[in-house]
Amino acid sequence: MFKYAPENTQQLVTVTLDGEPVSLPAGMNVAAALLGIDQIISRISPASHKPCSPHCLMGVCYECLMEINGVNRQACMTPVSEGMVIRRNLTAPGGNLHFGEKETATPGEQITSQEEGPSMDDKTQGASA
């Protein structure tokens, strides 16, 4: 989906993303760097329990909030540096993950919702009964 422009590729540094080492361009903001390696989910919303992704990439929306070096920060406002430890909040409050069967998602996994609401047919059948 997102790719780094070859002319803008900077020196790669190793960071820890959810317990796994990954290489990201030094100096690029964390949110953009993660989008460049197809890590589009930044956290699970504490309110809706649905996956969130960066939206504005300029520090306004807080959708990219992650734990970076032990502190909750906006990933779009934080430059990548060597040895950085990034932890996305991919579990719902209480440790219950509503998307998939694992406790946490690992880099490269796509989280999909397994909770389906009633279909439109279910709603119309209930209304006519």
Q: Quote the pLDDT of residue 68.
A: 97
Q: Report pTM.
A: 0.67
Q: Pairing state of beta strands 12-17 and 85-87?
A: parallel
Q: How many CB atoms lie within 10 A of CB 55?
A: 14
User: How does pLDDT run along the chain (129 residues), one tens digit per residue?
Assistant: 566 666 666 799 999 999 999 999 999 999 999 999 999 999 888 888 889 899 999 999 999 999 999 999 999 999 999 999 999 988 766 655 444 434 444 445 544 444 444 444 444 444 444
Segment 98-124, tens digit of pLDDT: 444 344 444 455 444 444 444 444 444
Map out the domains of the chain as residue ranges.
1-92
Architecture of the structural domain at 1-92: Roll (3.10)
